[in-house]
Structure formats: C-alpha cells, structure tokens
Amino acid sequence: MSDATPIAPTGRTIVLGVTGSIAAYKSAEIASQLRKLGHEVFVVMTRRATEFITPLTLGTLSRNPVLCDLSEESQGAWKPGHIELADRADLLLIAPASANTIARLACGLADDALGAVALATRATLLIAPAMNGKMWEHSATRENAERLRARGAAFVGPAEGMLACGYEGTGRLAEVDEIIARAQQLLAAR
C-alpha cells in the first residue's frame, strides 16, 4: 500500500494558457506547483505550444484534459468546453505568453482555444511574457501590453538575463516561484 494519496483540489480554479515559446517547458513546473497548492488546473495550449511541450505532459501534471483546439471539444455538449472553462476560472494565467499571443489578446482575437477562453472569461488575467528582448522592447509589443494593462490585466516579468536566442536582455520568463506568488496574490485579492 502506498503512502502517497492524490491531492484533491481545495483551492481555486486556474486556467493555464501555454503559448509557443521555448519557455513552454516551464509550464509543467507551474502546473505542478499550482496543483500542490491545492488549485484545480486546466491547461489550454496554442498550436505552437505543442511544438515545445506535449499536451500529455501537462494533462498528467494538471490531472485534467488539455484543450488545444476548439474542434476537440466534446460533441453534443450544450455548452462549449472553452466557455465552461472561461466561466469556471478564477484566474487565467498565461505562462509563457509570446509576443504573438499578447498581440492577439490586445486585439481580442478568439480564433483559437486560448483566445476564445480569454475573451469569454471574467477571471483575473495574469500574463507572464517570454520572448526575445528586441521583441519585448518593440513599440507594438509595448503598446499591446499597455492596452492589456488598461483593461485590468496583470503582468509578471519578463525577467532580465541570457535569452534562449543567445542575446542578453529583458525577455526571459519570470521565475516559476515569482509567477506562483503573483498568482496567489491575485487570487487572494479576488
């Protein structure tokens, strides 16, 4: 008999959005840490995110099905899965958030699962950017981030340091502990 018992969620419901960034591998640790804190975690991945980490990994760590495509939603359900997730969420945490995703969120695009959840939810939105420093500093990205902040989105990071592209600068995903702490802070304020 094993001493390990499954952790039953006692916290809040967090939708973890994962986008196409080399930092996507860190979403596994984020999902795991949130579960250990007692939160129920549902992962929504962009198509590009699946090129960096598998839905199987994130489904195993979150202990919930992973939504990657709107066409994957259960057939015949009276309420689409992305709307159910949007309604259940206490926090929508997008980590990592690519420049492309930040632009799509700022424009209100909802032609993929993550965009649809983001547009439909009334949950707190926490964005953890991860990209090349030049992309983060570009005026279009800065304007998109400011537009999202003006709508109430919170940001954590990006951090400064060596980037995956070989440049040094601001664009790294914030440390997992910092992301978790900010998520907990926002949930406590809700």
Active-site residues, by number, are: 165
Q: CA 123 → CA 12, 45, 51, 72, distances in Å? A: 11, 18, 27, 23
**Quick check: helix, strand or coil at residue 185?**
helix
**How many angstroms separate the CA atoms of 85 and 14, rounded?**
9
> How far apart (Å, rounded) are the C-alpha atoms in residues 152 and 140?
19
Residue 35 to residue 138: CA distance in whole angstroms: 35
Please tell me whether residue 94 adopts helix, strand or coil conformation.
strand
